[in-house]
Amino acid sequence: MNTKLRAAIVGSTGYGGVEVIRFLQGHPHVEITSVISSSNSGERLSEGFPHLSEIMIEALDAVDIALIAEKADVVFTATPHGVSAKLVPQLLEAGLKVVDLSGDFRLKDGSVYETWYKKSPADEALLAQAVYGLCEVFGEEVKGLDFVSNPGCYPTATLLGLIPAVAAGWIDPHSIIIDAKSGVSGAGRGTSLISHFAEINENFKAYKVNQHQHTPEIEQALTQVAGEPVVVTFTTHLTPMTRGIMSTMYAKVNGVHTDEDFIELYKQYYEGRRFVRIRDKGKWPATKEVFGSNYCDIGFAVDERTGRVTIVSVIDNLVKGAAGQAIQNLNLMMGWDETLGLSLTPIYP
Ligand SMILES: NC(=O)C1=CN([C@@H]2O[C@H](COP(=O)(O)OP(=O)(O)OC[C@H]3O[C@@H](n4cnc5c(N)ncnc54)[C@H](OP(=O)(O)O)[C@@H]3O)[C@@H](O)[C@H]2O)C=CC1
Ligand SMILES: CC(=O)N[C@@H](CCC(=O)OP(=O)(O)O)C(=O)O
């Protein structure tokens, strides 16, 4: 008798979906039973992804709700914004568990989604039901659920870097400035001018300034933690690397707190949470130090001269920023150890 949880992945020919497959392959309690493609059904997975040739899937399935419900218990929807909003209700209706990697269920207010994503929001009742799966902060709420909305990549790095200080009242939430940089895989696998080799190689550019769709997601979580409305200045940059996000954050310190105080506060907040690692005084995390892994590494320095703290947080956008955290959420939903299937050490150099 098969006792493993059966998993299907929609959006399997995109970067997020392929990364879910890579990690689930090593999960002790999960078996991949359906890999779904809206554009290449019938093809073998290994035709497009020869590095996945050991996965025992005959052919890619079409997006067919009845078939998915027959073959799987849980579905990872690594689908574009707008697609998940329509697909997830059908999957839930069919009795499946769902972890959605898109931005469609992260914002509670549909009109805010419409403003920032320029798309129609998902069903209001489902938005109310969706729990925001930032595991180290809201993980308790995820336990036992059938549906989780996986956080965005920039918000994951940023919120893990800010929330302990905001929750403790150690920084002024109205003074926060976030300067974030991402590797090109954050833009997905589809070709676009922004990720064209000649456009990004030996280049470094700001984009979506004051218009990035992750701004309200960051503000929503900080508002919840601070207990008052919070708005932030958030600027994103594209860097000529494949994976990785570095979020550098600046905020005014309330009262007097040293580097050592911040380190201690964060170590306590994340005690027992394997995937957040706090750097010692004077040590700064780099994207290579989390590459290919589910870690988020954070470093601090208080500047007594300006009264500000600088916080640097790094993740792999495709792992802690997408597929890894999605599997961590499944582990929490199922009541398993949250690290199952995710114990890979970063690839270095
Ligand atoms: N890249 C990243 O770093 C992160 C991505 N995300 C989010 O995860 C989701 C996937 O991102 P990513 O993998 O980068 O994107 P990609 O563009 O690389 O892949 C998305 C995949 O979705 C599938 N798809 C497209 N349209 C449909 C449809 N109508 N029905 C079903 N499937 C469809 C396509 O696969 P096929 O043609 O085979 O169906 C496509 O390959 C997005 O919502 C993204 O915003 C979240 C955090 C980080
Ligand atoms: C480099 C790059 O283009 N990154 C994407 C964000 C990544 C993403 O997929 O967005 P979600 O996490 O909301 O799904 C962007 O800036 O829009």
Structural contact between residues 331 and 200, judged by C-beta atoms closer than 8 angstroms? no
The residue nearest atom 30 of ligand 1, judged by CA position, is 38
Q: Which ligand is nearest to the CA of 38?
A: 1
- The pLDDT tens digits for 80-98 are 999 999 999 999 999 999 9
Instruction: Decide if pLDDT at 152 tops 90.
Output: yes
Predicted confidence at residue 53, as pLDDT, reads 79
Q: Is the domain of 227 the same as that of 163?
A: yes
Helical ranges in 202-316 per DSSP H: 215-226, 259-269
CA of residue 80 to ligand 1 center, whole Å: 5
Q: Is the domain of 230 the same as that of 169?
A: yes
Residue 242 exposed, middle or buried by CB count within 10 Å (0-12, 13-18, 19+) = middle
Q: Is the domain of 35 the same as that of 165?
A: no
Ligand 2 pocket (Cβ < 6 Å) reads 102-103, 152-153, 182, 186-187, 213-214, 236, 238
Alpha-carbon torsion 342, 15, 128, 85, what sign? negative
Average pLDDT, the chain: 96
- Mean per-residue pLDDT, 265-282: 98
Q: How many structural domains comprise the chain?
A: 2
Q: Is the domain of 231 the same as that of 169?
A: yes
Q: Is the domain of 103 the same as that of 186?
A: no
Q: Which ligand is nearest to the CA of 181?
A: 2
Instruction: Decide if pLDDT at 19 tops 50.
Output: yes
Nearest CA among 65, 42, 19, 121 for reference residue 325:
19
pLDDT band at residue 2 under the 50/70/90 scheme: low
Residue 162 falls within a domain, yes or no?
Answer: yes
Nearest CA among 221, 245, 250 for reference residue 234:
250
Instruction: Decide if pLDDT at 277 tops 60.
Output: yes
Q: Which atom from ligand 2 is nearest to the alpha carbon of 106?
A: 13
Q: Check which CATH number belongs to the domain holding 85 and give it.
A: 3.40.50.720
Distance CA 78, CA 11 (A): 5
Domain holding 279, by residue range, is 154-317
Q: Check which CATH number belongs to the domain holding 219 and give it.
A: 3.30.360.10
Residue 305 falls within a domain, yes or no?
Answer: yes
Residue 330 falls within a domain, yes or no?
Answer: no
Predicted confidence at residue 194, as pLDDT, reads 82
The residue nearest atom 20 of ligand 1, judged by CA position, is 14
Q: Is the domain of 109 the same as that of 166?
A: no
The residue nearest atom 31 of ligand 1, judged by CA position, is 38
Instruction: Decide if pLDDT at 102 tops 90.
Output: yes
pLDDT band at residue 52 under the 50/70/90 scheme: confident
DSSP 76-145: EE---TTHHHHHHHHHHHTT-EEEE-SSTTT-S-HHHHHHHH-SPPPPHHHHHH-EE--HHHHHHHHTT-
Q: Is the domain of 176 the same as that of 98?
A: no
Q: Is the domain of 58 the same as that of 162?
A: no
CA of residue 116 to ligand 2 center, whole Å: 13
Residue 347 falls within a domain, yes or no?
Answer: no
Q: Is the domain of 177 the same as that of 241?
A: yes
Pairing of strands 296-303, 276-278: parallel
The residue nearest atom 14 of ligand 2, judged by CA position, is 102
Distance CA 168, CA 74 (A): 37
Q: Is the domain of 112 the same as that of 165?
A: no
Q: Which atom from ligand 2 is nearest to the alpha carbon of 321?
A: 12
Ligand 1 pocket (Cβ < 6 Å) reads 10-17, 37-40, 63, 78-81, 83, 101-103, 152-153, 185-186, 188-190, 317-318, 321-322
Instruction: Decide if pLDDT at 1 tops 60.
Output: no
How much of the chain, in percent, has pLDDT values that exceed 90? Answer: 93
The residue nearest atom 15 of ligand 1, judged by CA position, is 188
Residue 345 falls within a domain, yes or no?
Answer: no
Helix axes 15-24, 324-334, angle to 10 degrees: 50
- Mean per-residue pLDDT, 20-40: 96
Which is more confident, 334 or 45? 334
Q: Is the domain of 29 the same as that of 62?
A: yes
Instruction: Decide if pLDDT at 247 tops 50.
Output: yes
Place of tokens 């090593």: 26
- The pLDDT tens digits for 153-210 are 999 999 999 999 999 999 999 999 999 999 999 999 987 888 899 999 999 999 999 9
How much of the chain, in percent, has pLDDT values that exceed 70? Answer: 99
| Amino acid of residue 2 | N
Q: Is the domain of 233 the same as that of 119?
A: no
pLDDT band at residue 20 under the 50/70/90 scheme: very high
Instruction: Decide if pLDDT at 28 tops 70.
Output: yes
Known catalytic residues are 153
Distance CA 315, CA 292 (A): 9
Residue 324 falls within a domain, yes or no?
Answer: no
Q: Which atom from ligand 2 is nearest to the alpha carbon of 151?
A: 12
- Mean per-residue pLDDT, 126-140: 97
Structural contact between residues 134 and 221, judged by C-beta atoms closer than 8 angstroms? yes
* ipTM for this model: 0.97
Residue 327 falls within a domain, yes or no?
Answer: no
CA of residue 25 to ligand 2 center, whole Å: 25
Residue 146 falls within a domain, yes or no?
Answer: no
